[in-house]
Amino acid sequence: MEEPFSFSDNLGPLKVIYVYEPSVSLKGVLVVDNVAAGPSIGGLRMAPDVSAQECFRLARAMTYKNAAAGLPHGGGKSVLFADPKSIGDEHKQQLVRAFACALAGEDHYIFGPDMGTDEVCMAWVKDEIGRALGLPRELGGIPLDEIGATGLGLACAAEVAAEFCDLEIKGARVVVQGFGAVGKHVARILGERGAILVGASDTSGTVCDPSGIDINALIAHKDSGSSLSQWKGAQVLPLDATLDIECEIWIPAARPDVIDEANVKRLHTRLVIQGANIPVTHGAERRLHERSVLNIPDFIANAGGVICAAMEYQGASEAAAMQAIEEKVRRNTREVLTRARDEQLLPREAALNLATSRIEAAMRTRRWSLF
Ligand code: NAD
Q: Please tell me if the CB atom of residue 181 comes closer than 6 angstroms to any atom of ligand 1.
A: yes
Q: Please tell me if the CB atom of residue 40 comes closer than 6 angstroms to any atom of ligand 1.
A: no
Of 255, 273, 280, 308, the residue with max ligand 1 atoms within 8 A of its CB, to mutate for a pocket test, comes to: 255
Whether 239 and 192 map to the same domain: the answer is yes
Whether 104 and 213 map to the same domain: the answer is no
Q: Please give the pLDDT value at position 2.
A: 60
Q: Please tell me if the CB atom of residue 180 comes closer than 6 angstroms to any atom of ligand 1.
A: yes
Of 202, 229, 312, the residue with max ligand 1 atoms within 8 A of its CB, to mutate for a pocket test, comes to: 202
Q: Is 77 a catalytic residue?
A: yes
Nearest residue (by CA) to ligand 1, atom 17, is 203
Whether 176 and 275 map to the same domain: the answer is yes
* Closest approach atom of ligand 1 to CA 240: 19
Query: Has residue 367 been placed in a domain?
Result: no
Q: Using the 3D structure, point to which of 141, 164, 188 is the last residue of a domain.
A: 141
- CATH number of the domain bearing residue 45: 3.40.50.10860
What is the span of the domain harbouring residue 104? 12-61+75-141
Q: Please tell me if the CB atom of residue 325 comes closer than 6 angstroms to any atom of ligand 1.
A: no
Of 182, 237, 255, the residue with max ligand 1 atoms within 8 A of its CB, to mutate for a pocket test, comes to: 182
Could you tell me the distance, in angstroms and rounded to a whole number, from the CA of residue 247 to the centre of ligand 1? Answer: 20
Whether 57 and 199 map to the same domain: the answer is no
Is the link from the previous residue into 279 a cis peptide, with omega within 30 of 0? no
Query: Has residue 362 been placed in a domain?
Result: no
Query: Has residue 66 been placed in a domain?
Result: no
pTM equals 0.94
Q: Which residues contact 364 (CB under 8 A, 6 or more apart)?
A: none
Report the 3 state secondary structure along the chain.
CCCCCCCCCCCCCCEEEEEEEHHHCEEEEEEEEECCCCCEEEEEEEECCCCHHHHHHHHHHHHHHHHHCCCCCCEEEEEEECCCCCCCHHHHHHHHHHHHHHCCCCCCEEEEECCCCCHHHHHHHHHHHCCECCCCHHHCCCCHHHHCHHHHHHHHHHHHHHHHCCCCCCCCEEEEECCCHHHHHHHHHHHHCCCEEEEEEECCEEEECCCCCCHHHHHHHHHCCCCHHHCCCCEEECHHHHHHCCCCEEEECCCCCCECCCCHHHCCCCEEECCCCCCECHHHHHHHHHCCCEEECHHHHCCHHHHHHHHHHCCCCHHHHHHHHHHHHHHHHHHHHHHHHHCCCCHHHHHHHHHHHHHHHHHHCCHHHHC
Whether 162 and 105 map to the same domain: the answer is no
The CA distance from 202 to 57, in Å, is 27
Q: Please give the pLDDT value at position 366.
A: 86
Could you tell me the distance, in angstroms and rounded to a whole number, from the CA of residue 276 to the centre of ligand 1? Answer: 6
Q: Please tell me if the CB atom of residue 275 comes closer than 6 angstroms to any atom of ligand 1.
A: yes
Residue 85 has, within 13 A of its CA and on its CB side, a CA count of 3
Could you tell me the distance, in angstroms and rounded to a whole number, from the CA of residue 256 to the centre of ligand 1? Answer: 9
Nearest residue (by CA) to ligand 1, atom 33, is 276
Could you tell me the distance, in angstroms and rounded to a whole number, from the CA of residue 219 to the centre of ligand 1? Answer: 15
Q: Please tell me if the CB atom of residue 299 comes closer than 6 angstroms to any atom of ligand 1.
A: no
Whether 35 and 156 map to the same domain: the answer is no
Q: Quote the number of domains for the chain.
A: 2
Whether 180 and 282 map to the same domain: the answer is yes
Could you tell me the distance, in angstroms and rounded to a whole number, from the CA of residue 302 to the centre of ligand 1? Answer: 12
Q: Using the 3D structure, point to which of 117, 141, 165 is the last residue of a domain.
A: 141
Whether 213 and 277 map to the same domain: the answer is yes
Query: Has residue 93 been placed in a domain?
Result: yes
Q: Which of 15, 27, 65, 77 is catalytic?
A: 77
Whether 86 and 129 map to the same domain: the answer is yes
Could you tell me the distance, in angstroms and rounded to a whole number, from the CA of residue 221 to the centre of ligand 1? Answer: 17
- CATH number of the domain bearing residue 170: 3.40.50.720
Whether 350 and 231 map to the same domain: the answer is yes
Per-residue pLDDT of the chain (371 residues; tens, 9 = 90+): 566 677 789 999 999 999 999 999 999 999 999 999 999 999 999 999 988 888 998 999 999 999 999 999 999 999 999 999 899 999 999 999 999 999 999 999 999 999 899 999 999 999 999 999 999 999 999 999 999 999 999 999 999 999 999 999 999 999 999 999 999 999 999 999 999 999 999 999 999 999 999 999 999 999 999 999 999 999 999 999 999 999 999 999 998 899 999 999 999 999 999 999 889 999 999 999 999 999 999 999 999 999 999 999 999 999 999 999 999 999 999 999 999 999 999 999 999 999 999 999 999 998 776 54
Could you tell me the distance, in angstroms and rounded to a whole number, from the CA of residue 5 to the centre of ligand 1? Answer: 33
Q: Using the 3D structure, point to which of 99, 118, 141 is the last residue of a domain.
A: 141
* Closest approach atom of ligand 1 to CA 182: 26
Query: Has residue 206 been placed in a domain?
Result: yes
Query: Has residue 162 been placed in a domain?
Result: yes
The CA distance from 351 to 339, in Å, is 8
Q: How far is CA 30 from the centre of its chain?
A: 19
Whether 19 and 45 map to the same domain: the answer is yes
Q: Please tell me if the CB atom of residue 333 comes closer than 6 angstroms to any atom of ligand 1.
A: no
Query: Has residue 277 been placed in a domain?
Result: yes
Query: Has residue 197 been placed in a domain?
Result: yes
Whether 30 and 162 map to the same domain: the answer is no
